[in-house]
Amino acid sequence: MNMLLTLPTKRTFVTRLATFLWSGTSTIRTSVMIWKAKPILKPPRVSDLDDFLRKMDDPNYWRTVKDKSTGQDVVLTDEDVDLIQRLQKGQYPSSTTDPYEPFEDIFSHETMIHPVTRHPPQKRSFVPSRIEKAMVSKMVHAIKMGWIKPRVKKHDPDRFSLLWDKDESTAGSNERMQRYIPAPKMKLPGHEESYNPPAEYLFTEEEEAKWREQEPEERRINFLPAKYPCLRAVPAYERFIEERFERCLDLYLCPRQRKMRVNVDAEDLIPQLPKPKDLQPFPSIQSIVYEGHTDCVLCLSLEPAGQFFASGSEDGTVRIWELLTGRCLKKFQFEAPVKSVAWCPSQSVCLLAAAVDKTVYILNPGVGDKLLLSTTDTVLSALPEESSGQAAVVDWEQTSASSPEFLSRGERLRVMHRHGVVQVTWHSRGDYFATVTAEGQATVLVHQLSTRRSQAPLSKAKGGVSRVLFHPLRPFLLVACQRTVRVYHLLKQELAKRLTSNCKWISCMAVHPKGDNIITGSFENRLTWFDMDLSVKPYKTLRHHKGAIREVAFHRKYPLFASASDDGTVIVSHGMVYSDLMQNPLIVPVKVLRGHAISKGYGCVGTVPSIRTSRG
């Protein structure tokens, strides 16, 4: 006799493990019998059509759920529905539960002498479990031997794949849906489109007439603002069809583009520059004021040894100053303003060139070592006379030792030009010097002191020449024209490079002591740095000044350069040039020197490497 062990309710209960084991078969489980076991079949499966008809006819369909363990349909009671609804709302399952009932402390609020529980901690609370260790070891060994394998992904029989899943049309459709870009929303109406706009939005008669005369695409708004006493008085919107038509045209004809926003930190865009206090030493405060000129100071020049410097002024004087004390040692008077002064860089002679009108005076300043001064006069007296075999570009004239100019202002030679001289500069060896004239075809002249010869290497220079400099190491002549800087090779007599500036008029120029970098200033407040090894275009352009830049200069020893402007300021910058060609120069402005008076529209018109500035 077979006996089936089931509950009195005639429902077959199966555990979760049994449900998983028998999920792929047509039975639920086997019946537990005394002599033999028989499989219990699953209830018949209802088709989708019968389920739909039942959904239409059965009023309790919405509260009917399927029990996975038995495979039968269970109708939820009102209590079950209420319980589910309370759980969905995040409430307590029972309506009788009071979450705010009075709190009853388990322990007394009174301090007790002895603790309630004082049993010592068990050893198993801080000692690793040996049983768990053995279980983990067995599982690891089973995985290594291949006895434990990952679960196989079950195949859902109710899921069907597309027959043409790999078709190109389907793939293109999916890609098109992924690239879908929603249409932009229309612009919301403003105050001017209100039925009762403020008075400032209404047009006057003149504004309305001007609006009607304009072309439709030039109008700021495409309607006339109107005012009505109430909302009932507002007529039908006459531009409704036109706006809808334009919107349809925008949706149909205007292409859309998705703009990918790049989240960039603003600090990443700012270059990481060192702090100015880490770049010291550099000039920061006013030390000495040199007073004596009665008019604007136009030029400065520092002695090679750094003990004296010369200044030229519009009052026609050249003064020799002692650098550390500020004492005026010499004063040379001329008939016209002194446009430029330049100290000879040679250590064997002591000469000063001063450009006054059309003449360049070679002076013996008479300061410093007396033996060097006497040697200078001896060298100048032994110079040969000017050769007369060819047409002279300029006239050389030696001052007699008995003349008053020889004694009063140390005049030794005169180089008389055809036009006014605006600049004079020396070669690093001290034998050659170049001059720039304001007019004429031969604006750039190169003179040799030892032979008293002059020549015009750029007789056909295009554009105005503002500055001329000799390269400190190579046989190059740097000529600053209006917009470009031309580098000429003197030995090969050809144009080596042509540096293109981004300004309209170059006013000044300076060469780095190593010779590979050049800075220029312009009347458009721009300071341009050129790296000749990198490119013929500017490496960096600085616009820190508010006025025209009159002079720029490099320091002979420290990595510093300065620029003087008509705004009365001198900006000192750190300019480090590395020997590694793969590393670009480091440029950091470190100090702004103020306090210079502006006279006749000019501010600071000259600087020297130790930051001596001239002002009116």
The answer to whether residue 67 sits within a structural domain is yes
Q: Are strands 395-398 and 411-416 parallel, antiparallel or unpaired?
A: antiparallel
Residue 407 has what pLDDT?
A: 65
Q: What is the mean pLDDT of the chain?
A: 82
Residue 438 has pLDDT above 90, yes or no: no
What's phi and psi for 228, nearest 5 deg? -125, 150
Distance CA 277, CA 611 (A): 18
Residue 17 has pLDDT above 70, yes or no: no
Residue 24 has what pLDDT?
A: 57
DSSP string, 543-583: ---SS-EEEEEE-SSSSEEEEEETTS-EEEEEEE--S-TTS
Does residue 426 contact residue 415 with C-beta atoms inside 8 Å?
Answer: no
Where among 88, 120, 141 does a domain terminate? Answer: 88
Q: Say how many residues make up the chain.
A: 616
CATH of the domain at 431: 2.130.10.10
Where among 88, 111, 141 does a domain terminate? Answer: 88
Distance CA 571, CA 593 (A): 6
Residue 341 has what pLDDT?
A: 93
DSSP string, 310-338: EEEETTSEEEEEETTT--EEEEEE-SS-E
Residue 615 has pLDDT above 70, yes or no: no
| Structure-token match 């042509």, residue found | 498
Query: What's this model's pTM, rounded to 2 decimal places?
Result: 0.57
Instruction: Indicate the pLDDT class of residue 461, thresholds 50, 70 and 90.
Output: low
Residue 204's region, left for phi above 0, alpha for psi from -120 to 50, else beta, is beta
- Average pLDDT score over residue span 177-201: 87
User: CA triplet 524, 527, 529: central angle to 5 degrees?
Assistant: 140
Q: How many CB atoms lie within 10 A of CB 514?
A: 11
Which long-range contacts does 454-457 make (Cβ < 8 Å, 24+ apart)? 454/392, 454/393, 454/394, 454/396, 454/415, 455/393, 456/393, 457/488, 457/490, 457/493
The answer to whether residue 346 sits within a structural domain is yes
* Residue 495: both structure tokens together: 């144009």
The answer to whether residue 530 sits within a structural domain is yes
Instruction: Indicate the pLDDT class of residue 419, thresholds 50, 70 and 90.
Output: confident
Residue 184 has what pLDDT?
A: 87
The answer to whether residue 364 sits within a structural domain is yes
Q: Give residue 461's domain range.
A: 294-593
The answer to whether residue 69 sits within a structural domain is yes
**List of E strands, 157-238:** none
- Average pLDDT score over residue span 436-461: 82
Nearest to 333 by CA among 367, 361, 308: 361
Residue 104 has what pLDDT?
A: 73
**What are the pLDDT digits (tens) for 514-561?**
888 999 999 888 999 999 888 889 999 988 888 889 899 999 888 999
Kindly state the greatest CA–CA separation across the chain: 158
Tally of domains within the chain: 2
The answer to whether residue 511 sits within a structural domain is yes
Task: Please tell me which residue, 405 or 322, carries the higher pLDDT value.
Answer: 322
Residue 9 has what pLDDT?
A: 43
Does residue 470 contact residue 476 with C-beta atoms inside 8 Å?
Answer: yes
Residue 36 has pLDDT above 70, yes or no: no
CB contact set of 106 (below 8 Å; sequence gap of 6+):
none
| Structure-token match 């040894």, residue found | 305
Where among 54, 71, 88 does a domain terminate? Answer: 88
Instruction: Indicate the pLDDT class of residue 389, thresholds 50, 70 and 90.
Output: very low
Residue 34 has what pLDDT?
A: 45
Considering only CA atoms, give the Rg of the chain: 49
Count CA within 13 A, CB hemisphere, residue 73. Answer: 12
Residue 508's region, left for phi above 0, alpha for psi from -120 to 50, else beta, is beta
Q: By mean pLDDT, which of 131-145, 214-228, 250-264 is the weakest?
A: 250-264
The answer to whether residue 255 sits within a structural domain is no
Does residue 400 contact residue 406 with C-beta atoms inside 8 Å?
Answer: yes
The answer to whether residue 605 sits within a structural domain is no
